[in-house]
C-alpha cells in the first residue's frame, strides 16, 4: 500500500513501460504491475500490453459473449474475462497513486 498517496501525471506513467518496471492505470488508480506479471492467468504478454498506459478499457473487454435460452425467454449471459476480478483488492499492495493529467 501507500502511506502518502501520490499524484501520477500521464507522462510519468508512460515511462514505466518495461518488463522490470511496469505501471498501469485502472479506473484512475496507478498500480505497479511488475510483481504481478508472472502470476497473471492471462499471461505476461497480455498484461504487458497495458504497461505505461491506462488499461481500464482492455481490462473490461469481454473475452466471450454467451447467450443462453432460459425458460421461454432469451437470457443473455455476458461472460466477462475479468467479471469477478477486483483490481483494488488484488493489487492493493501495488497501488502507487492516482493518475492525473499533465499540467
Ligand atoms: C484472465 C487478473 C489485466 C487479459 C485473468 C484472470 C485474472 C486476471 C485473475 C483469471 C480470470 C478467470 O479465470 O476467471 C488481471 C488483473 C489485471 C489484468 C489483476 C490488472 C492488473 C489484464 C489485461 C488484459 C488481460 C490488461 C489484456 C490486455 C486476460 C485474459 C485472460 C485473463 C485474455 C483469460 C485467460 C484465459 O482464461 O485463458 N486476468 N488481469 N488481463 N486476463 Fe487478466
DSSP state of 102: -
User: According to DSSP H, which parts of 1-103 are helical?
Assistant: 10-15, 44-48, 56-59, 87-90
Go through the chain and tell me how many residues it has.
Answer: 103
Please give the backbone phi and psi of residue 96, each rounded to the nearest 5 degrees, phi first.
-100, -40
Long-range contacts (CB closer than 8 Å, 24 or more residues apart) made by 38-46: 42/81, 44/19
Grid cell in block for residue 100: 492525473
Which CATH code for domain 6-58+87-100? 3.10.120.10
Which residue's CA is the closest to the ligand 1 atom numbered 1?
42
Grid cell in block for residue 37: 506479471
Q: What residues does each domain of the chain span?
A: 6-58+87-100
Q: Is 90 in the pocket of ligand 1 (CB under 6 A)?
A: yes
Interface predicted TM-score of the whole assembly (ipTM), two decimals: 0.93
pLDDT tens digits in sequence order for the chain, 103 residues long? 455 679 999 999 999 999 999 999 999 999 999 999 999 998 999 999 999 999 988 887 654 433 333 333 333 334 467 878 889 899 999 999 999 999 8
Q: Which atom of ligand 1 is nearest to the CA of 90?
A: 19
- Pocket perturbation via mutation, ligand 1, pick of 27, 51, 82 by most ligand atoms within 8 A of CB: 82
Amino acid at each position: 500500500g501507500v502511506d502518502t498517496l501520490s499524484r501520477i501525471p500521464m507522462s510519468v506513467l508512460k515511462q514505466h513501460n518495461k518488463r522490470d518496471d511496469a505501471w498501469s492505470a485502472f479506473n484512475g488508480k496507478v498500480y505497479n504491475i511488475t510483481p504481478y506479471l508472472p502470476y497473471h492467468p492471462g499471461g505476461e504478454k497480455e498484461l504487458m500490453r497495458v504497461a505505461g498506459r491506462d488499461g481500464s478499457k482492455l481490462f473490461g473487454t469481454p473475452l466471450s459473449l454467451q447467450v443462453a435460452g432460459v425458460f421461454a425467454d432469451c437470457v443473455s449471459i455476458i461472460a466477462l474475462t475479468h467479471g469477478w476480478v477486483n483490481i483494488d483488492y488484488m493489487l492493493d499492495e501495488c497501488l502507487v497513486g492516482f493518475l492525473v493529467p499533465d499540467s
